[in-house]
Amino acid sequence: MSLGRSACRALLLLVLSVGLLACEDDTGIDDPKERAVLFQLNAVHNGGKTVRFDPLPIATHLPADVGSENEVTEWTQVSGGKVQFTFVGSPPGVGISFRLASLADDVCGVTDVEFDNDRIELADVRLNPRNYRSSGCQRTVTHEAGHAIGILDHTSDGGLMDPDGGDGNITSDVSTMVRNLYSLKPGTQVGLFERGSRAQRRGGRYVVTIVDYVRR
């Protein structure tokens, strides 16, 4: 017997919720929605386990002609102080690097996040100098910094982490996700889908590439 599309979708959601609920004791997160968002925006790329920078603070290279430090440290405020940055004068071996780069006209920015052993090693942020400050790309520096610290996918809630930056506001779901991510140890199991990783193996590390497009 074959299932219709809606029935299959309902079954998938049920299986996902059961898998996440099975991990409740590991995470200490009681709200199934919070665990689901953490899985979807982060752990799905690492076989169901959380991946983030550790230890902190995160060494961050942000040239003055690219952006201002407060565009990055907004994530410190959002996370309740759990995410910390230290700004350095050159691209770090472990940390976040921002730079201007030649990108397609319909792209605001691109972030490559490299990780191994459940820890982010490097986030390379490339910004399109032609439009990353345009009205079609909302608060791109802050948006890309969100990807760099572990928001490895996009939302569709109209907020900052939508592909085009949405209305520019960091939603409560995203802020809660970041606080949960940096409250848990790297490698905490939050989902049971070990084959759900969307990262690609490159040069001995796993890499997730997130592309952000200009609003149409």
How confident is the prediction along the chain (216 residues), in pLDDT tens digits per residue? 444 444 434 444 444 444 444 444 467 898 999 999 999 999 999 989 999 999 999 999 999 999 999 999 999 999 999 999 999 999 999 999 999 999 999 999 999 999 999 999 999 999 999 999 999 999 999 999 999 999 999 999 999 999 989 999 999 999 999 999 999 999 999 987 544 456 888 888 999 999 999 987
Q: What is the pLDDT of residue 193?
A: 57
For 212, the 3-state DSSP assignment is: strand
Radius of gyration of the chain (CA): 17
Q: What is the pLDDT of residue 203?
A: 81
Structure tokens that stand for 184 in this block: 């848990």
- Taking residue 93's Cβ as centre, other Cβ atoms within 10 Å add up to 9
Q: What is the pTM of this model?
A: 0.87
Q: CA–CA separation, 211 vs 119, rounded Å?
A: 21
Q: CA–CA separation, 174 vs 166, rounded Å?
A: 13
Question: CA of 194: how far to CAs of 87, 182, 202, in Å?
Answer: 35, 21, 19
Structure tokens that stand for 80 in this block: 């309740």
Asked if 121 and 87 count as a contact pair (C-beta separation under 8 A), the reply is no
Q: CA–CA separation, 178 vs 41, rounded Å?
A: 10
For 98, left (φ over 0), alpha (ψ -120 to 50), or beta? Answer: beta
Q: What is the pLDDT of residue 12?
A: 42
The domain spanning residue 152 has which CATH number? 3.40.390.10
Between β-strands 58-61 and 85-87, what pairing exists: parallel, antiparallel or unpaired? Answer: parallel
Q: What is the pLDDT of residue 199?
A: 81
Q: CA–CA separation, 191 vs 44, rounded Å?
A: 8
Q: Which domain holds residue 21?
A: 5-213
Q: CA–CA separation, 125 vs 108, rounded Å?
A: 11
Specify the number of domains making up the chain. 1
